[in-house]
Amino acid sequence: MLVLNHLSRPGLFASVDLTIEAGKCVALSGPSGAGKSLLLRAVADLDPNEGDVLIDGKSRNATHAPAWRRRVGYLAAESGWWGDHVGDHFPLREMAAKLMVRLALPAEALDWQISRLSTGERQRLALVRMLIAGPRVMLLDEPTSSLDTDATQRVEALVEEWLHGGVTGAGTCEGSGKRCIIIVTHDRAQARRMADRHLTMKAGILIPGLYEGPDGNVTAAEKVDPA
């Protein structure tokens, strides 16, 4: 279970109180600049923020930062890469290769230079990197924004499998079967497919419902099976 307790960044987004049960996915939508990514970064404790976050009752404020970031995986819209080659980021090459194939990436991509990767390849490789780390919580910021339909379906299937305990990484924490997800997406169909609950961020305020576009409407939405 993930609990956000009065989590805020004054001037950027208002105090958030939110509970996500194990095995659940929450979709976060809303206009650009509303604070969605900032909220994910606050949960991951990557930026200064106020309040607390708990995983199964264990407080972030009582946890060393490196340990917290092993439990909370944040997949940014634009992933960071520090080495020149893909393999520099994957010491467990066999594990990486198996997951890469699931996402339509060839195993030999481990020998590629980072500079030759497309945005979509970087997105999928960043997901593989996070899965291997074995987090308890996934924070996904537009994880399929640069992907075609086939790659999007593959990512969604793998994430859904992880949510229910079917993908185990090398760094998997104790109790890792109790997983949950927050996904930021502008794709309303994806939000309906993946999420059990839908929330909208508007002007830094979190409200229930699915954001329906520039007209500003927010509607209730239920999870649906893909056609």
Per-residue model confidence as pLDDT tens digits over 7-65: 999 999 999 999 999 999 999 999 999 999 999 999 999 999 999 999 999 999 999 99
pLDDT for the residue 20 = 97
171 assigned to some structural domain: yes
pLDDT for the residue 212 = 74
Distance CA 142, CA 120 (A): 11
Nearest alpha carbon to residue 62 among 47, 71, 72, 52: 52
pLDDT for the residue 227 = 40
Tens digit of each residue's pLDDT (9 = 90 or more) over 112-167: 999 999 999 999 999 999 999 999 999 999 999 999 999 999 999 999 999 999 88
Counting the structural domains of the chain, the total is 1
Global pTM exceeds 0.85? yes
- Give the CATH number of the domain where residue 25 resides: 3.40.50.300
Work out the burial of residue 99: count CB atoms within 10 Å of its CB; fewer than 13 is exposed, 13-18 middle, 19 or more buried: buried
15 assigned to some structural domain: yes
Q: What are phi and psi of 66, to 5 degrees?
A: -60, -40
226 assigned to some structural domain: no
Q: In which domain, by residue range, is 185 found?
A: 2-219
- The helix or strand, by DSSP H or E, that contains position 133, with its residue range, turns out to be helix 119-133
User: Contact at 8 Å (CB) between 180 and 171?
Assistant: no
User: Contact at 8 Å (CB) between 163 and 23?
Assistant: yes
227 assigned to some structural domain: no
224 assigned to some structural domain: no
